[in-house]
Amino acid sequence: MTATPKAQAREPQDTRSSVSIALSAWNALFLREAVSRVSAGRAAWLWLLVEPAAHLTILMVLFSTIRHRIMPGFDFALFLAIGVLGYNLFRHSALRSMAAIAANRALFTYRQVKPVDVVLARAFLEGVIQLFVGLIMLAGMSLVGFAELPNDPLTVMLVYTLFWLFGTGVGLMLSVGSTLIPEVGRVANLCFIPLYFLSGVLFSPAMLPPEPRYWLLLNPIAQGLELARAAFSPGYNGVTGLDLGYLTAFAVGSIFFGLALHVRFSRRLLMQ
Amino acid sequence: MIVVEDVHKRYQTEHGAGKWVLQGVSLTIQPKVSVGLVGRNGAGKSTLLRLIGGVDIPTRGKIDRYCRVSWPMGFGGGLQGSLTGRQNAKFVSRIHGHEVDIPDRLAYVADFSELGDAFDQPVKTYSSGMRSRLQFALSLAFDFDVYISDEVTAAGDASFRAKAAAAFKNMADRAGLIMVSHSEGTLRQFCSAGIWLHNGRALWFDSIDEALKAYKESIGAC
């Protein structure tokens, strides 16, 4: 053991605490991600809005004019919007965070920046972006008369926050997985397509026979979407008897497990 | 002061653990010493710099930094191509806790790097000399006790190298430098002491000339 050299005693303000280093790294990473996300290419910010709006318009055309689907006690456009926005929030948080380590490898040159920092910064930015996208979409829809204000806004906000946290947790896990085993990333990207249909974005699980409904409701996102719809409109005829605990457990569990993976593989993540 | 204690390092490869790159490196780098690392390609020079810079973790052994150490300035690392030089400089200021005096740091970087209008262009449009000027100016914008340079000074043109060397001479009484370069001239210009990395071990020389001599003799002997 070497004795600590006392010549190195510095004024306290010279050394920063771990917390303040992490905070300044998060601040810097968040701003940096935001700049590259919003200014990458021509009118990148516009595409953030156009993509979900186009998605929703296509679904609307498909379902309301071709299939004449009617949802008793609920505006179908709003029904779809809740599903698409919720699912997108989850998917973007998970997939953008998953890609964070590979995209920011150059920054690990600075020892203040660790893999978990870039993942968390991206997940946070994605939450902020999707919040604005959602607010603008709903405001736009209510201007043209498609949507009204939610009946129980707190529950709606809570469900969406849980979607974002769950997406962050999945992103934390996938970021480790896809860095250590590249195939994990490819498979994860594929899995989000069937998950879209299994999450009840386009239909309510209540329309299904009991057995498939039981299986579908094992998916926490399907449960969350039903809860959000019920909170939006008291007249909604969806699945009853759900509570937020299931989705909360998934959100908290995935974040815990994701952070644990980052701790366990911190050395391997830096080395790749 | 930086204390490197019995550091071993090997990398994980696709076929399990790789060869040992460093095998028991022990060094004490005193404050305000400028030291050059010499050794063959693959001798572990960049690896040792990355370990000292805290970018990577030794497989065995430990490294204590009793001072503020810069990041290893080197090819490619640390700059984001799609962002401008100014945006990159802001980012580096922020992670080093200089959120409040960003304008001062930016002014210094813009002035020292002599990039002119290119400072507001994306870094991916830079030549390698311009990139290394930006990296070098960036690190000088902060008060480190030890600066780590991985070949970065060699990429600038002659006038920039002279300017960088002068900047280091000016602060020789407060800061040290650890550098890797394959150019003997650069090493002699910047460094007084030398470390020769050979067969996974490190040998310290108080004079860079002796380190270079030992290194050259080893090549001749092989």
Average pLDDT, consecutive stretches of 10 residues, N- to C-terminus, chain B (222 residues): 89 80 89 88 86 87 89 77 89 89 91 89 88 86 87 72 80 83 83 88 89 86 50
pLDDT class for A183, splitting at 50, 70, 90? very high
Q: Which of B10, B69, B91 to mutate to test the interface with A (most CBs of A within 10 A)?
A: B91
- Inform me whether the pLDDT recorded for A98 exceeds 60: yes
CA B116 to chain centre: 25
| Chain A residues near any Cβ of chain B (below 8 Å) | 2, 4-5, 7-8, 14, 16, 20-21, 24-25, 27-29, 31-32, 35-36, 40, 106-113, 267-268, 270-271
Nearest CA distance, B34 vs chain A (angstrom): 18
pLDDT at position A258 is 96
Predicted structure pTM score: 0.87
Could you tell me what percent of chain A has a pLDDT over 70?
90
* Cα distance between residue B136 and residue B140, in whole Å: 6
- Inform me whether the pLDDT recorded for A8 exceeds 50: no
- Inform me whether the pLDDT recorded for A186 exceeds 70: yes
Residues 10-49 of B with CB under 8 A from A: 11-12, 31
pLDDT digits (tens, 9 = 90+) for A214-228: 999 999 999 999 999
- Inform me whether the pLDDT recorded for A75 exceeds 90: no
pLDDT digits (tens, 9 = 90+) for A18-41: 888 899 999 999 999 998 888 777
* Cα distance between residue A115 and residue A58, in whole Å: 38
User: Is the distance from CB of B34 to CB of A38 less than 8 angstroms?
Assistant: no
pLDDT class for A256, splitting at 50, 70, 90? very high
Nearest CA distance, B70 vs chain A (angstrom): 8
Which residue in chain B is spatially nearest to A20 when comparing CA positions?
B97
**Both tokens of residue B220?**
């001749």
Q: CB of B72 within 8 Å of any CB in chain A?
A: yes
Listed by start position, the domains of chain A span: 43-271
In this structure, the number of other CB atoms found within 10 A of the CB of residue B86 comes to: 18
Q: Which of A42, A105, A109 to mutate to test the interface with B (most CBs of B within 10 A)?
A: A109
Across A91-105, average pLDDT: 93
Residues whose CB falls within 8 Å of the CB of residue B199, separated by 6 or more in sequence, listed in order: B23
A255: nearest Cα among A108, A86, A85, A123: A123
The dihedrals phi and psi of A202, each to the nearest 5 degrees, come to -95, -10
Could you tell me what percent of chain A has a pLDDT over 90?
50
Alpha carbon separation from B143 to A157, B146, B147, B183 (Å, rounded): 46, 9, 9, 26
A220: nearest Cα among A61, A33, A90, A108: A90
User: Is the distance from CB of A113 to CB of A182 less than 8 angstroms?
Assistant: no
One DSSP character per residue, A16-78 reads PPHHHHHHHHHHHHHHHHHHHHHHSSTTHHHHHHHHHHHHHHHHHIIIIIIS----TTS-HHH
Which of B1, B79, B90 minimises the CB distance to A106?
B79
